[in-house]
Structure 1
Amino acid sequence: MSLALDRRLFLGLLGAGAASGLLPAWARAATPFNFQASWINDAEFMGYFLALDKGYYADEGLELTYQSGGPDVIPESTLITARADLTLTTPDTTIKAITEQGAPFRIIGAQYQKNPIGVVSLAKTPINEPRDLIGKTLAVPPVNVISVEAMLAANGIDKAQVNIVPYAYDPTPLIQGEIDASVDFTTNVPYTIELAGEEATSFLLYDYGYTVFNDTVVVTEDTLASRRDDLVKFLRASRKGWNENFADPAALPPAYADTWFKGTGRAVENEVYFNTAQQPLMEAEGGIFSMSEEAIAANIEALNAVGIKATRDHFDTTLLDEI
């Protein structure tokens, strides 16, 4: 058979495959898909890094563009301006945007079943529970003030009994004894404190009444309607990445020291600590990203307690049934 005939046969097979929808993945054009992360590149996003590097999104027919976040990135705004198809954010900010500003958002999954935000203190002067905060100075990022006040109220503590001061995600004031505790990611900051020669202790706001998800997966209603299949593909590939990552949470971060984690200024050991600590906060009976009816109800109750009018309609679990 001549080369020309071979080529015609090959093209003919492609045409037949296209007509039947059975083209192999390598022969189909990938669909662009933009993902906005909620923070800088750290272990919080390990599953997505792995899925990208292993080609799991490509296997699903997606050409994923990963967009790093940071202090100057407002994830929801990237959806409104169409710079992202999907982002990670928090239920309180998302639902406030829906109910107070008419934002067309829906929550389709939750990375963290239990919010990793908590109260961090030094082991030598521990704050072990909310009542230990009475009369103490607690540094809180502005975005978390509502959450902290809700946790205090849930435990019968008047917010006036706690000296709440601003916090800029720097544990130095805690280490130096200028404050008694801070509110930060319990999956990360204790390790930073240990590097400074102090032992840290912490508790989650989640365990004391503020029962909300974190890194909720958010899309616009238009994207949910028009790109449903692509969203299912994203969730499926991402779950595969997370499951593989958690098979050994200490193994993969060192492999990313000179790629995904390059330039963050943090030791890779910190990312190993982070990745290990977040596993029990993410895994659930229904799988990564799942949102059980009980968990959604707990979110709604906690948000309503601080005046955020959450309802079941803000959460769409139907895509999770397809992955």
Structure 2
Amino acid sequence: MRHSTRRMLAAGAIALTGALALAGCSGGTDDGGSSADAGGGADLTPVKLQLQWLPQGQFAGYFAAADQGFFEEEGLDVEIIPSGGDIVPQDALANGDVDYAIAWVPKVLGSIEAGANLTDIAQIFQRSGTLQVSWADSGIDSIADFEGKKIGSWGFGNEWEIFAAMAAEGLDATTVQIITQDFNMNAFLQGDIDAAQAMTYNEYAQLLETTNPDTGELYTPDDFNVVSYEDTQGAMLQDAIWADTEKLASDTAYQETTVKFLKAVIKGWVYAAENPEEASQITIAAGSAWGPSHELWMVNETNKLIWPSTEGIGVIDEAAWDKTVQGALAAVNETGAHLITEDPPATAYSNEWIQKAHDELADAGLDLTGADFAPMDVTLTEGGQ
């Protein structure tokens, strides 16, 4: 795969601008490849992609697609727009501010019920990466052990797996004390939370790159109990690519752009699977603030959530979708609020566009299912450096 420093620096400028000036990031940069011509000399089609967080390995495939020129090969000039919590991706898409957005399925199901007209066109994460982490001697080995405990959650729609899993166990949300935690593990390490929310690719790594004051060595997995929501009835689909439903139905140019965009994204994620070290460096250059060992861990763990994809990367599994919907219907938070109260419309997801992208890449020699994927063994260092 070729490597373009120019593209990497351009992507980094876009992302870093967003990280430093969150509210004003949608303007992007002026070059971003727009001066280049696609094959045949036509101007590149501008596309805005809204991320749901800051640049990091969770989004490595998108930054790799920019860095490696995959978007340009499809005739696209893609501006990758970060968020830091100030931008709700599905709102930006529903408002017409961007062309596509990355967001968790349950969050968008709530927005769809509230009136947003959006479609999941590619389910990039095939499994949940959410954990609830407690100390090894806490006695919290399963969801059933949450009762009476202080359970950490970030909020912002990230909490619904907790409530869906509790509902499946017959537990009332009022039987736990929900503690709002920052996007780190400080409150847990200080003893303010019995079981903290963590992603396999981020906060769990933060624990493993922290020094245990009792031993002077880094914490190890043996120091913790881990409840993985993927192993519960509360598991929900996470990072998906969302598009404008109405434009998908009526705008031919948007339809064509959607397929081209998905083709480039697929190539970006295949690149990240086959070249995790390079992908981690690309995300660092794109503005990630994480250290190199943490970033490599993040890319590696993100790849595990994507690959293997039995039906092909991005294809939405109907059973997993239905499980997410049922969990969303069952979930009731500590205030008695529901995420959704009825089934989403049939337009909430479609495999039409990702399948077209797969069909057009059929002869490209790419491993679209991850049949040959093998994760790395990543050694974390103190502070993720």
Q: Distance in 2 between matches of 1:273 and 1:82?
A: 34
1:125-136 to 2 correspondences below 5 Å: 125=138, 127-136=140-149
**Residues in 2 aligned to 1:255 and 1:88: alpha-carbon distance in whole angstroms:** 19
Alignment of 1:218-257 (within 5 A): 218-225=242-249, 226=251, 227-257=254-284
**Residue 159 of structure 2 aligns to a residue in which SS?**
helix
Q: Distance in 1 between matches of 2:60 and 2:232?
A: 28
CA-CA distance at 1:229 after TM superposition: 1.0
Task: Report if aligned partners of 1:95, 1:310 keep a CA contact under 8 Å in 2.
Answer: no
Amino acid at match of 1:286: E
* 1:319 alignment partner AA: W
Report how far residue 278 of structure 1 moved. Answer: 2.0
Secondary structure of the residue aligned to 2:123 is: strand
- Measured after TM superposition, the shift of residue 205 of structure 1 is 1.9
Match of 1:34 in 2: 48
1:260 to 286, 291, 305: 286
Residue 311 (structure 2) aligns with: 286
Separation of aligned partners in 2, 1:46 and 1:24? 23
- Taking the aligned partners of 2:139 and 2:60, their CA distance within structure 1 comes to 31
Q: Are 1:301 and 2:301 an aligned pair? A: no
Task: State yes or no: 1:321 paired with 2:346.
Answer: no
Q: Is the 8 A contact 1:35 1:65 kept in 2?
A: yes
Residue 217 in 1 paired to residue 217 in 2?
no
Tell me which of 196, 208, 226 is aligned to 1:202: 226
Change (3 A) 1:126 1:35: farther
User: How far apart are residue 256 of structure 1 and its match?
Assistant: 4.4
Q: Which amino acid aligns with 1:244?
A: Y
Query: Residue 154 of structure 2 aligns with which residue?
Result: 141
**1:164 match:** 178
Pairwise CA distance, 1:126: 6.3
CA distance 1:118–1:240, change in 2 (3 Å): same
Amino acid of the structure 1 residue aligned with 2:304: P
Amino acid at match of 2:231: D
Name the residue aligned to 1:310.
343
- Tell me which structure has the larger Cα radius of gyration: 1
- Compared CA separation, residues 270 and 131, structure 1 to 2 (3 A): same
The code of the aligned residue for 1:315 comes to Y
SS of equivalent to 1:33: strand
**What displacement does 1:297 show?**
2.1
The amino acid that maps onto 1:117 is T
Q: What residue is the counterpart of 1:3 in the other structure?
A: none
For the Cα contact (< 8 Å) 1:111–1:217, is it kept in 2? yes
Structure 2 counterpart of 1:11: none
Q: Distance in 1 between matches of 2:281 and 2:105?
A: 32
Q: Cα RMSD over matched residues?
A: 2.1
Summarize the alignment of residues 16-165 of structure 1 with structure 2, pairs less than 5 Å apart: 25=39, 27-100=41-114, 102-123=115-136, 125=138, 127-142=140-155, 143-165=157-179
TM-score (norm 1): 0.85
- Tell me how far apart the structure 1 counterparts of residues 75 and 293 of structure 2 sit (CA, whole Å): 34
User: What is the Cα deviation at residue 319 of structure 1?
Assistant: 0.7
Quote the Cα distance in structure 2 between the aligned partners of 1:251 and 1:52. 13
Q: Which has the larger strand fraction?
A: 1
Equivalent position of 2:299 in the other structure: 275
User: What is the deviation of 1:146?
Assistant: 3.2
Q: CA deviation at 1:209?
A: 0.9
CA distance in 1, matches of 2:279, 2:353: 29
Name the aligned partner's letter for residue 169 of structure 2.
Answer: N
Q: Are the aligned partners of 1:139 and 1:182 in contact in 2 as well (CA < 8 Å)?
A: yes
- In structure 2, the CA distance between the partners of 1:145 and 1:24, relative to structure 1 (3 Å rule), is closer
- 1:321 is displaced (CA, Å) by 1.4
Give ranges in structure 2 of 5+ residues lacking alignment: 1-36, 212-218, 332-337, 358-385
> How far did residue 255 of structure 1 move?
4.9
The reply on whether 1:189 has 2:222 as its aligned counterpart is no
Separation (CA, whole Å) in 1 of partners of 2:322 and 2:175: 30
DSSP 3-state at the match of 1:206: helix
Change (3 A) 1:269 1:24: closer
Cα distance 1:203–1:83, how it changes in 2: closer, same or farther (>3 A)?
Answer: same
Q: Residue 157 of structure 1: CA displacement?
A: 2.3
Residue 10 (structure 1) aligns with: none
Tell me if structure 2 keeps the 8 A contact 1:76–1:94.
yes
Deviation of the 1:58 alpha carbon: 0.5
**1:133-155 CA distance string (max 9 Å, x none):** 23321111222333312211112
> Once the 2 structures are TM-superposed, how far is the Cα of residue 252 of structure 1 from its aligned partner?
3.0
Q: Deviations over 1:253-282 (max 9, x none)?
A: 13543x1135x2x21211111111122211
Q: How far apart are the structure 2 equivalents of 1:250 and 1:209?
A: 34
Deviation at 1:24, TM superposition (A): 6.8
Q: What is the CA–CA distance in structure 1 between the aligned matches of 2:161 and 2:318, rounded to whole Å?
A: 22
